[in-house]
Structure 1
Amino acid sequence: MRKFGLVFALLALVPSVVDAQARRPRADLHERATEWAPVAQSMTELLDAGWKIIAYNNYQTEMFDPNENAFSFILQNGNKYIICMLDNPSINDTNSKCRALN
């Protein structure tokens, strides 16, 4: 009989938990505002200032003539993040486009 009382008491709590979940505001999972501010320093200047590369990607278009290369790097310094992109880099003649993410 005590087990039945315990089960009944637990089942009595279920509607209040379900109601609380239903009252919570629904989250929009698709869009969030993200800072995308241009950074005045080049990627070289950022690395010289102590920023670290924590991730990178290389994209090549082998189907097109001319063959295009693009590189992207995520840099971190403390809790700050910057993404830098290099399009068709060549030795000693490359411009980076860097954007602050936060």
Structure 2
Amino acid sequence: SRVLKNLLKDSMDKAYGKEVLTWEGETSAVSRDAIRDATESQNTTVIDEWDRELDQGKVKKTKFKLKRDWKRPFSPFQQLKNRRRFWSNTHPAKGASLSRRL
């Protein structure tokens, strides 16, 4: 942790690890450019497709079903008619007696 702080202290805004001064003792153009680049890189972040996808979060997978499939109207009269038709087609003798009971 202490080593990391020392490394970051000398590498954040200086071109060569330590601040490089001109012969007159002023900050050099290289150091000024490095400082400007460091502040710009902290302020501007590039958001690409992967970042947007990660920021979107987890999307729950669902099975695709049409609304008419899962919201089928239930009609007891249609169900009775279907039963009668089934028995009359498969067992004609029982169909006649079944129609009286159902």
Smaller-chain TM-score bracket? under 0.3
Structure (1 or 2) with the larger CA radius of gyration: 2
TM-score normalized with structure 1 length: 0.20
Q: Give the number of the structure whose residues are more often helix, by fraction.
A: 2
TM-score normalized with structure 2 length: 0.20
Q: Which has the higher contact order (CA 8 A, sep 6+)?
A: 1
